Amino acid sequence: MQLLITLVAALLSHHVEPKHQARPNVVLILCDDLGAHDLGCTGSTVIKTPHIDALRAQGMLFTQAYSSGCVCAPSRCALLTGRSLAHAQIRDNQEVANADDGTYGGQRALTAGTETIARSLQRAGYATACFGKWGLGGPGDATGHPLSQGFDRFYGFLCQRNAHNHYAAYIESDREKIVLDGNSRGVTGAQFVPDLCANEAVQWIASKAPSDAPFFVYFATNLPHLALQAPEEAVAKYLLDEVAYEGKKGYLACPKPHATYAAMVTKIDEAVGRIVRAVTDAGDLEHTIFFFTSDNGAPWELGGFDPAFFGSNKGLRGSKNSLWEGGLRVPFIASWKGHVPFASACEEPVVGYDLVPTILSMTGTRSDAVVDGVSLARVILGEAPCESLALRPPLVWENPSGAGQQAVRDGRWKLVRVQAKSVERARFELYDLGVDPLEAMDVARANPEVLARLVKVFESRTPSEVTEWNYAPIASIDAR
């Protein structure tokens, strides 16, 4: 079995030479808290997403796709470095205090010289830009800034907390703080920041049109993360049953929470449409690969958000901030006009940290980065069957928040370690997702060999230098 896994891993990491003489551009679109079923092409009957649906129609939809983590910062770290959370630098949201002038402090920073996908592409001659939410450093730590991690251009939120209001009072442009006139972090304001980020992305893409150099855009929108806010004209497009949300626990009130959430997702779709149009206008559509996904599953009923109304997680167990399926399952689309089989689909499990080896392969970029993901390039391009992913190495997640969770998926099997920080209370739960996708029946006792095999995956993790991101030693399996 180990030999088979090694051979399959070698096949999936096979270097794919670009079909054009010029290396393709890459646009990576990452949403914030978007549920797996919040798009028209993934089953929503409420929310309108025609531009994203069009990307899906001319590309591949991965129907069992997972985020790299269940909350923002670690998921983004894994996405950009290709390391699972068993080995990644950032494994939870670790906040940095605000400055005396109120500037948001950011989160724990990536270390200097981290081999991000942006750095690899930049070294290979790509122009690189990040627009939207960063969350892997702050203004007080230059090493974690996007411009220090492989990006030529940054416009957006360094700190995730600043991104929690879509009418933020300021934004960062490269290393400059830009005050947004008419915005005061209220319920509404003069400038809807997600639109500003889309504007900047479109302008930057247009500015690259005269150049022969390829580009990489990381468009990390902060939508549809709470608070529930959208321009009035966007909300007015939806006439839905409503109960006004009065605002609790620090969240803003919202008179039309259903219509507002739907409008926020549609605003993502509008941004996608504008970016695709900018690429098309530059004459680069057939030379540009698009990836679309989310940083984690949809949240629970919070801040006026109603996941049951939208079917965001479609009955899956758990939500954001958990390693159950509802916290990890996300939309995942790969689209490259003329290269990806039309309206194709893959049902094998894939994960966000697969994108680094995939992008490296599809762009013909060499990198010394150590990655845990596998390249999906040959599957996406129709050069290998989806089933070739069946013997990939296991998918691994960690969530040190609270009592701690660890999880691993290998084929049909998923093992979850709960209460993982406690020697006395830690236990394993094993699920056969092939027959039990809702994780309702623990079958650990009936499958001791599978349990023992997957536990070994947990034991191979790299301890974190952050003490609270580690777990209790694994006791005897028989005792658990």
Kindly report, residue by residue over 348-396, the tens digit of the pLDDT: 999 999 999 999 999 999 998 899 999 999 999 999 999 999 999 999 9
| Nearest partner of 414 among 75, 33, 64, judged by Cα | 64
Confidence grade of residue 141 (pLDDT, cut at 50, 70, 90): confident
Q: What is the mean pLDDT of the chain?
A: 94
Please give the average per-residue pLDDT across 303-308, as a whole number: 97
Q: How confident is the model at residue 223 (pLDDT cuts 50, 70, 90)?
A: very high
Q: Which pair of structure tokens corresponds to residue 400?
A: 């040190």
Looking at residue 13, its pLDDT comes to 45
Q: What is the pLDDT of residue 249?
A: 83
- Region 472-479: mean pLDDT is 68
Q: What is the pLDDT of residue 21?
A: 42
With 0-12 / 13-18 / 19 or more C-beta atoms within 10 angstroms meaning exposed / middle / buried, residue 304 is buried
For residue 195, the model assigns a pLDDT of 98
Is pLDDT of 479 > 80? no
Q: Which two structure tokens, joined as six digits, stand for 312? A: 């965001």
CATH ID of 400-479, from 3.40.1260.10, 3.50.50.60, 3.30.1120.10, 3.30.1300.10: 3.30.1120.10
pLDDT reported for residue 1: 40
pLDDT value at residue 211: 82
Contact 432, 443 (CB under 8 A): yes
Rounding to the nearest 10 degrees, give the CA dihedral for residues 210, 18, 362, 14. Answer: -160
Over range 41-66, report the average pLDDT.
98
Question: By the 8 A CB rule, do 413 and 431 touch?
Answer: yes
| pLDDT value of residue 20 | 42
pLDDT over threshold 90, residue 4: no
Task: Express each pLDDT in 152-204 by its tens digit.
Answer: 999 999 999 999 999 999 999 999 999 999 999 999 999 999 999 999 999 99
Note whether 25 and 291 are within 8 A (CB).
no
Domain boundaries defined on the chain: 2-390, 400-479
- pLDDT-derived band at 298, boundaries 50, 70, 90: very high
| Model confidence at 6: pLDDT above 60 | no
Q: Tell me the sheet residues that pair with 294.
A: 31
Those residues with Cβ within 8 angstroms of residue 129's Cβ, 6 or more apart along the chain or in another chain: 151, 152, 153, 154, 155, 201, 204, 215, 216, 217, 218
Of 135, 199, 196, residue with least CA distance to 168? 196
Residue of 390, 417, 391, 382 lying closest to 403 (CA atoms): 417
* Tens-digit pLDDT profile for residues 309-349: 999 999 999 999 999 999 999 999 999 999 999 999 999 99
User: In the chain, pLDDT over 90 holds for what percent of residues?
Assistant: 91
Beta partners for 333?
61, 292
Q: What is the pLDDT of residue 475?
A: 76
With 80 as the cut, is the pLDDT of residue 5 above it? no
Structure tokens at 436: 């039990």
Q: How far apart are CA 166 and CA 63, in angstroms?
A: 30
Look at residue 259 and tell me whether its pLDDT is greater than 90: yes
Cβ neighbors of 461 (< 8 A, separation 6 or more) are 86, 87, 396, 398, 406
Q: Which helix (H) or strand (E) holds 442?
A: none
- So what CATH class is 2-390? alpha beta
Local confidence band at 476 (pLDDT 50, 70, 90 cut-offs): low
State the average pLDDT over residues 232-246: 97
Helices (H) and strands (E) in the chain, counts: 12, 16
Q: How far apart are CA 195 and CA 435, in angstroms?
A: 43
Contact 220, 134 (CB under 8 A): yes
Percent of the chain with pLDDT over 70: 95
